[in-house]
């Protein structure tokens, strides 16, 4: 059996390592007060994924923008700048996960062997 690590601290931080696939990711919960915009960001070597849990959030990704509602999923490819803001009249909550696409491809490649 491989070594695995999963760490959670408060509403933040999950670093996962699996020696079989070298799969790693970070996850966090982002709380966004009304009228607040997150600082623009870009991850050169990782894909970022969001799920809106509560509120109405406007995402600005690579020069485009759109409104996202609870239950919606947003994927930001590596190297693409993004920002988001609370576009509603109540606090918003996002689940955010940052994943290395290369590690993810390796994890997907080995998945069938786990099912056998």
User: Tokens 């690579």 appear where?
Assistant: 62
pLDDT digits (tens, 9 = 90+) for 2-26: 455 545 555 554 444 554 444 566 7
Which CATH code fits 28-115? 2.60.120.10
Q: What is the pLDDT of residues 63-104, one digit of tens each?
A: 999 999 999 999 999 899 999 999 999 999 999 988 876 654
The pTM assigned to this predicted structure is 0.69
Cα distance between residue 44 and residue 18, in whole Å: 22
Distances (CA, A) of 113 to 4, 5, 52, 104, 110: 18, 21, 33, 15, 6
27: helix, coil or strand?
strand
Count of beta carbons in the 10 Å neighbourhood of residue 32? 21
């Amino acid at each position: 059996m491989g070594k695995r690590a999963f760490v959670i601290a408060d509403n933040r931080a999950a670093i996962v390592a699996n020696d079989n696939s070298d799969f790693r990711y970070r996850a966090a919960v982002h709380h966004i007060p009304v009228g607040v915009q997150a600082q623009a960001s870009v991850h050169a070597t990782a894909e970022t994924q969001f799920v809106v849990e509560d509120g109405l959030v406007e995402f600005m990704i690579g020069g485009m923008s759109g409104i996202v509602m609870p239950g919606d999923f947003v994927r930001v490819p590596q190297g693409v700048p993004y920002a988001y803001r609370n576009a509603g009249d109540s606090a918003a909550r996002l689940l955010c996960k940052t994943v290395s696409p290369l590690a993810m491809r390796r994890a997907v490649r080995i998945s069938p062997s786990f099912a056998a």
